[in-house]
Structure 1
């Protein structure tokens, strides 16, 4: 079993099964993958919001790869063990008019730069947030011919933004093309379930995978085996603030939950509306609490008390 490295000197901003492989590996090999942030290296740690407004949004979601796995064919699956993440000390989160859950509430662009200090960040006034790095995108090349935007995920994986793809998790992906064409990117230093403002903590990062080919075992869609601890252990040491809303339209219930959480953060530690919205995107977890009371859905948003530097 060999170890490989692939750098971020060349990235793709779309899926296309015709892209040539940048690296070929054998089943059981490990590979260390360098990845640009979600802007494909356009955002930097000293960037102003005025500069941010000018970035090329066609370059969103830089993918490092494709990586070809010897012997991989349609009907097989890849077993991807996520071994390690390495961040580079900073990340960013933005508000983009017209995007995100509360697109009607926020009409001006906003950019927040986070300084990452080990496994925490202290870059939002009054708060200490834990880091739980993961890849927003891990995927294989799609079955369909042609070039496809990276934003929609699918059976091939892709832009799933599942925050539990942390080190220690194992991801299984179905193979659709010869060699599989594994790609990864869009790393987040942490993220809340929902990623409501359109970003997590977007960060340049390096990830190490162990990739094993599982022959003749079709898989309908991605499957993850993740550690039992689904939230930062420090957060479980204190209570959670739970905002509950019910509506016929689940998205409307989500909006009301997030608006209430924003108001709480503003009143509790004096954050601006923009700061509070960004904070919700990286730490508030939206959960479906019930679907049985048709046609009403109940959504609950959980905000950890442990993030606040001073208790209530």
Structure 2
């Protein structure tokens, strides 16, 4: 099957006597550039549910048995693959496509990598020149809703898709790595199951694609990777008219429960600088220094933990010439000695 071939299934509903037509996008229907000339893999009506079988954001170059020795073979040209596109009937330029996230299932494993500086990933890439890779067990404690960073540190599993986007209005090919006003690699952890994302339509049919499954991530994804994982997704695509204010991604979240972990506050380091990026770097560095000095983690462990569970926040943006950026970590990730 080539990447544009239609893959349509017929699945049974709860009533075994009723056959329900559904649309499925397979792993083979992949593209590495946004391009409004791509042939749709499906054409669906507004309000249709579509399922996806997705490779991870690294094109499945790492597996459950990979080690740090494999990081040097990582090919960034295959980063952030998107799957689709899906043409939605009735979507016209100026409309909005509403994406509802109905179900997101991770694989049994995930990975977080510190990629060497030459790859250009990571807010402190210049300070972490050595490759590192952590393989996560996403199966053992999935019913309890967490995965183990190391004994005594638990990370809540909150799956979401990093890449969710529509075709650009301009002709040509655009990288899938950055975010755009039409979506793309927005890497927003708040858009999980039960949430709705609104994207501005720039071409007839919208041409929707998604990918880059994450089991967990902190705001900022500071080391360049989250808990990356292959994922199965189900979304509902609906065209909405008359919303001219949606000129970039907007979203509505579903409240996140606290059944898996309790809220015990957070620890944060502030970065202060006239340059917003440098203020962010200082904040991340400060949190890592605390994790090393107070909790006994290595710097690489601190960098990874900040990326999968820490949040970057602009605390102050009006008292020029300096910005204040916080990098915070929920204290609830620490569950056992010696980290309590």
- One fold, TM greater than 0.5? yes
Question: Structure 2: how far apart are the matches of 1:18 and 1:9?
Answer: 18
SS in structure 1 of the partner of residue 199 of structure 2: strand
Seen in structure 2, the aligned counterparts of structure 1 residues 235 and 304 have a Cα distance that, compared at 3 Å, is farther
Is residue 63 of structure 2 the alignment partner of residue 44 of structure 1?
Answer: yes
- Which residue matches 1:155? 181
8 A contact 1:140–1:183 mirrored in 2:
yes
- Which residue matches 2:12? none
- Which residue matches 2:25? 6
- Which residue matches 1:144? 170
Question: Structure 2: how far apart are the matches of 1:198 and 1:125?
Answer: 24
1:226 to 253, 256, 260: 253
Aligned length: 311
Question: 1:271 deviation in Å?
Answer: 2.2
Root mean square deviation, CA, Å: 1.8
Question: Structure 2: how far apart are the matches of 1:87 and 1:170?
Answer: 19
SS in structure 2 of the partner of residue 91 of structure 1: strand
Question: 1:70 deviation in Å?
Answer: 1.2
Question: Structure 2: how far apart are the matches of 1:123 and 1:193?
Answer: 18
- Which residue matches 2:14? none
- Which residue matches 1:263? 289
Seen in structure 2, the aligned counterparts of structure 1 residues 266 and 253 have a Cα distance that, compared at 3 Å, is same
1:180-202 Cα distance to aligned partner (Å, 9 max, x none): 11000111111001110101111
- Which residue matches 1:108? 130
1:99-128 Cα distance to aligned partner (Å, 9 max, x none): 311122111111111111312111434311
When the two structures are superposed, what TM-score results if normalisation uses the length of structure 2? 0.87
Question: Structure 2: how far apart are the matches of 1:247 and 1:257?
Answer: 10
1:59 to 57, 78, 82: 78
When the two structures are superposed, what TM-score results if normalisation uses the length of structure 1? 0.94
Question: Structure 2: how far apart are the matches of 1:94 and 1:141?
Answer: 29
Question: 1:276 deviation in Å?
Answer: 1.3
- Which residue matches 1:241? 267
8 A contact 2:146–2:260 mirrored in 1:
no
Seen in structure 2, the aligned counterparts of structure 1 residues 114 and 71 have a Cα distance that, compared at 3 Å, is same
SS in structure 2 of the partner of residue 212 of structure 1: strand
SS in structure 1 of the partner of residue 126 of structure 2: coil
Question: Structure 1: how far apart are the matches of 2:293 and 2:321?
Answer: 33
